[in-house]
Structure 1
Amino acid sequence: MRVTDPAHPDHRTPTTPEAIRPEAVRSDASDPQRAWAFRPASPLPGVPGGLLSGLTFSVKDLFGVPGWPLRASTRAPVPDPGESVLVRRLLDLGASATGKTHLHEIALGITGANGFGGTAHPTRPECVPGGSSSGAAVSVALGQVDFALGTDTGGSIRVPAAWCGVRGFKPTKGHADWSEAGVLPLSGTCDHTGPLAADLHTIIRVHEALTGQSVPPQDWAGRRVGLWLPDGWVTPDVHAAVQGVAGTLEGLGATVTPVDFPEVLDAYSPIVLSEAAAVHRDALNLPEPGFLPFTLAALRQGAALSADEVQAAFARRAAYREGLDALLDTFDVLLAPAVPTPPPLTGQDEVDLPDGPVPLRRAVLRLTAPFSLLGAPTAALPTAHHAGGQPFVGAQLVGRHGQDDTLLALAHALDTAPHIRTPEHT
């Protein structure tokens, strides 16, 4: 079976009565972006005197929190994952949880559309904030919390971080201190948990508290950087932004060399859709599951995949992992775009790129999915190239598996460095 994006549906804001019910689109005056799925009368307080005391955080509505509802931003019934180990750890470390944020329905999408009206961009209401951790990014961008918990299966932390002008971090898959236990999965073999924040200092502080180890400063002198900037995959302004980052790294003493890496969606899509269909099997057996039409179509497509088709996708994944490992044996870090364009308009189906129009989902995921499919630690940060004073495109830094601390320290060194312009790479 050929895996396709069902009419590329997750780029659209559904307008039929079945897609969005009237009560779903009412906007709280205190939350015009519809970022919040649940806000209790008072936050869950952290343990006094902890390493994270004084910090507040929002929780993506996939994490189980006792006493708080879990809906995954859908009208469909969802499984109960139990209590989130990560949320409990953060509370024990002193941080206070202020509420749950909306996401792209069940995390299966990159715009922020869901069964409750969808989430809007924090400062450009006509645009999407990115997803699936849409509310998480908005809560950080608006200064409502110090950091946000998100999940990333194909770009779901990095994309909204880039489009909302904040920072995001996806740890190495299976990182012991960024537990996925008690989190409703989308794709168990691709899911990651991670933070978003306005600055990398806060992300590093949270990471250090969870791991119990400091993140030593790093510098870029002598570092080998592979620049993955595929021809025709990004708009000219994104291309210029990433080239600007490459120039800054060269000014800091790194060597930047263009590299190639293939599109991995032929492995990613079958794996994610089949695993998501298994998670939501019970709802799919209902006469009216309650999912938005595009989510339902994608889940049914995943359920229809044969075991042989899924096994072939895993074989392709293994080959891609070998290719990424070889790159990261040669280079210390990879630099890549985090998004192909500035934030798209709500309802926009496709984007115009130098190679022509491309469905939005494919345009985004082919840049971000490799590093969640293959489990490499990745940081997303805004670039200096922006319009109207807001940096709404971003870059990814990809590190070697297990070297999360080094990656975070290098990302921080870049994020706090003066931006240096050099001639564009050829």
Structure 2
Amino acid sequence: MSPYAAALGSADFSDPQRAWAFLPAQPLAGQAGGPLSGLSLSVKDLYGVEGWPLTASTRAPVPNPGQSVLVRRLLELGASAAGKTHLHEIALGITGMNGYGGTEHPTLPGHSPGGSSSGAAVSVALNQVDVALGTDTGGSIRVPAAWCGVAGFKPSKDHPDYSLAGVLPLSPTCDHAGPLARDVTTLARVHAALTRTQITPQPWADLRVGLWLPEGWTDRAVREAVQAFAAQLESLGASLSPIALPEMLDAYTPIVLSEAAAVHREALRQDDPGFTPFTLGLLRQGAALPAAEVEAAHARRAEYRAALDDLFTRFDVLLAPAVPTPPPRLGQEDAELEGGPLPLRRAVLRLTAPFSLLGVPALALPTVTPFVGVQLMMRWGQDDRLLGLGLGLEESDRPPHS
């Protein structure tokens, strides 16, 4: 367990980043002797935990999802739950702003940690816990992992060992549960315990890697960091080729906003339910979408899935930036990209949302450039191998034994 985790329940615990939504007097102890014994865990405040409040970082009323199957399973495996972390309000955003003031970057005051799993990323980046439980609907694990310099894993959609039962949904079509940690070794340990499998380092030699780095979609620092990461994969024996994918927000946005509005239907009956203005505007927008528009978005999603399936007949792994720029300032509305300024939300989501929309496993990894990350994707169901490739990279970065 992280030595800092023991102080979380103490009266003198300081939380200047506003990462923590709830800290019990004592952590929930995991079962002794389990494969995750000794690991401390933070829980994103979308997961139902018995005896702990659930706010989804909003002042509005939210539905009660019941008790989280995944949290209970992690406790049974030996992890101890330290408390609940803040998120971008109801998980509908990528900066970490919410009804309680929002979360700040762990080491860059005045900057965003990313979202929606903002407190989750901060809690592991600051070594307050070993593992953070987050969710990812359009990038909500991968974006904060990249901006906070940690690793994050979004499993395949409907993975049987990452249950969403007892998790307040945002978009049932796109929601995923998954962990963040400071290294892939810890992510693989959690995954191995949950799945009862062994994750071993995998070689990159002879792998076909599709590089998705659309011209003008990032700033120079991110482009160069991704290119350097690609060169590292080539040095390990992989072959890289550029690929093209469309911007999929025309499918993602109607699906997510319409489903989020349905989740929060009861609150939206009120004139002022308590959401922040931006969140309320998005939910009202979702509630007003005609059924035909949502149906058309699902049809486009099916077309995009076919295009991605075709790519995976030619490539083993896809590599892409996880974020378009380093961490933005709090309140910043636009991203300054090589292709020109773009609204921050769109600039971020067009890179990450496709892989939640289509449900393939994704692994976010930090790069040598601070607070810039990449994401690796594989075909649906290749979770074990993807984590093994992440372990292979981590192993190659370690200095040889003297």
CA contact (8 A) 2:201 2:390 kept: no
Kindly indicate whether residue 112 of structure 2 is the aligned counterpart of residue 128 of structure 1.
yes
CA contact (8 A) 1:378 1:396 kept: yes
Per-residue deviation, residues 42-98 of structure 1 (Å, max 9, x unmatched): 000001111101101000000000100000000000000000000000000010000
Shift of 1:287: 2.6
Aligned-partner Cα distance in 1 for 2:15–2:56: 18
Which residue identity does 1:165 align to in structure 2? G
Aligned-partner Cα distance in 2 for 1:32–1:234: 30
Aligned-partner Cα distance in 2 for 1:285–1:214: 49
* Pick aligned residue for 1:209 from 180, 189, 193: 193
Aligned-partner Cα distance in 2 for 1:150–1:88: 15
CA contact (8 A) 2:184 2:391 kept: yes
Cα RMSD (Å):
1.0
* Pick aligned residue for 1:261 from 221, 228, 245: 245
Residue equivalent to 1:200: 184
Residue equivalent to 1:119: 103
Residue equivalent to 2:295: 311
Residue equivalent to 2:38: 54
Kindly indicate whether residue 315 of structure 2 is the aligned counterpart of residue 336 of structure 1.
no
Give the secondary structure class of the aligned counterpart of 1:329: coil
Aligned-partner Cα distance in 2 for 1:404–1:121: 29
Per-residue deviation, residues 260-283 of structure 1 (Å, max 9, x unmatched): 000000000000000000000000
Shift of 1:126: 1.2
* Pick aligned residue for 1:397 from 361, 372, 376: 376
Which residue identity does 1:164 align to in structure 2? C
Residue equivalent to 1:270: 254
Give the secondary structure class of the aligned counterpart of 1:315: helix
Shift of 1:413: 1.3
Residue equivalent to 1:230: 214
Per-residue deviation, residues 341-384 of structure 1 (Å, max 9, x unmatched): 00000010001111111000000000000000000000000011
Kindly indicate whether residue 337 of structure 2 is the aligned counterpart of residue 358 of structure 1.
no
Residue equivalent to 2:65: 81
Which residue identity does 2:52 align to in structure 1? W
Kindly indicate whether residue 282 of structure 2 is the aligned counterpart of residue 298 of structure 1.
yes
Aligned-partner Cα distance in 1 for 2:22–2:194: 25
CA contact (8 A) 1:105 1:295 kept: yes
Give the secondary structure class of the aligned counterpart of 1:270: helix
Kindly indicate whether residue 69 of structure 2 is the aligned counterpart of residue 105 of structure 1.
no
* Pick aligned residue for 1:35 from 3, 10, 19: 19
TM-score (ref. length: structure 1) = 0.90
Residue equivalent to 1:6: none
Shift of 1:29: 6.4
Identity of matched residues, %:
71
CA contact (8 A) 1:167 1:380 kept: yes
Please list, as runs of the form range in 1=range in 2, the aligned pairs for 1:284-295 lying within 5 A after superposition.
284-295=268-279
Shift of 1:217: 2.4
Which residue identity does 1:350 align to in structure 2? D
Residue equivalent to 2:307: 323
Residue equivalent to 1:158: 142
* Pick aligned residue for 1:138 from 115, 118, 122: 122
Residue equivalent to 1:177: 161
Residue equivalent to 1:383: 367
Aligned-partner Cα distance in 1 for 2:330–2:19: 15
Per-residue deviation, residues 164-210 of structure 1 (Å, max 9, x unmatched): 00000000000000111000000001000000000100000000000
Aligned-partner Cα distance in 2 for 1:140–1:350: 27
Per-residue deviation, residues 99-133 of structure 1 (Å, max 9, x unmatched): 00000000000000000010000000110000000
TM-score (ref. length: structure 2) = 0.95
Aligned-partner Cα distance in 2 for 1:370–1:408: 20
Shift of 1:288: 1.8
Residue equivalent to 1:10: none
* Pick aligned residue for 1:374 from 345, 358, 375: 358
CA contact (8 A) 1:381 1:415 kept: no
Which residue identity does 1:399 align to in structure 2? M
Residue equivalent to 1:189: 173
Structure 1: runs of 5 or more not aligned: 1-27, 420-426
Structure 2: runs of 5 or more not aligned: 1-11
Per-residue deviation, residues 137-162 of structure 1 (Å, max 9, x unmatched): 00000000000000000000000000
Aligned-partner Cα distance in 2 for 1:418–1:232: 30
Residue equivalent to 2:396: 417
Give the secondary structure class of the aligned counterpart of 1:79: coil
Runs (4+) of structure 1 moved beyond 4 Å?
A: none
Which residue identity does 2:372 align to in structure 1? V
